[in-house]
Amino acid sequence: MVEAYWEVGRVIVEEEQAGQSKADYGKRVVEGLSERLRAEFGKGYDRSNLFHMRAFFLAYPKFDAVRRQLSWTHYRHLLRVDRPEARAFYEAEAVNSRWSTRELARQIDSLLFDRLALSRDREGVLALAREGHEIQSPSDLVKDPFVLEFTGLRQDERFRESDLEQALIEKLREFLLELGKGFAFMARQQRITLDGQHFFIDLVFYNRLTRSFVLLDIKVGHLTHQDIGQMQM
Contact 11, 58 (CB under 8 A): no
Q: Is residue 25 part of a domain?
A: yes
What pLDDT, in 10s, does the model give residues 148-187? 666 666 555 566 677 777 777 777 777 777 777 778 888 8
Identify any residues that bridge with 184 across adjacent strands, giving them in sequence order: 206
Range of the domain at 222: 172-232
Q: Which of 66, 86, 111 is the last residue before a domain boundary?
A: 66
Q: Is residue 12 part of a domain?
A: yes
Contact 191, 204 (CB under 8 A): no
Break the chain down into helix, strand, coil percent, rounded to 5.
Answer: 55, 15, 30
Q: Return the exposure string of 37-68: e unless at least 16 CB atoms fall within 10 Å of the residue's CB, then b.
A: bbeeeeeebeeebbbbbbbbbebbeeeeebee
Q: Which of 66, 95, 116 is the last residue before a domain boundary?
A: 66
Q: Is residue 5 part of a domain?
A: yes
Q: Is residue 148 part of a domain?
A: no
- What distance in Å separates the CA atoms of residue 30 and residue 16, rounded to the nearest whole number? 9
Q: Which of 66, 95, 113 is the last residue before a domain boundary?
A: 66
- The set of residues, in sequence order, having a beta carbon less than 8 Å from that of 186 and lying 6+ positions away, is 204, 205, 206, 213
Between 196 and 84, residue with greater pLDDT: 84
**In total, how many domains does the chain have?**
2
- Comparing 20-34, 63-77, 111-125, 211-225, the range with the smallest average pLDDT is 20-34
Q: Is residue 187 part of a domain?
A: yes
pTM: 0.55
The type of residue at 125 is V
Return the closest-CA partner of residue 69 out of 96, 88, 89, 87. Answer: 96
What pLDDT, in 10s, does the model give residues 114-159? 877 775 665 655 565 565 555 555 555 555 555 566 666 655 556 6
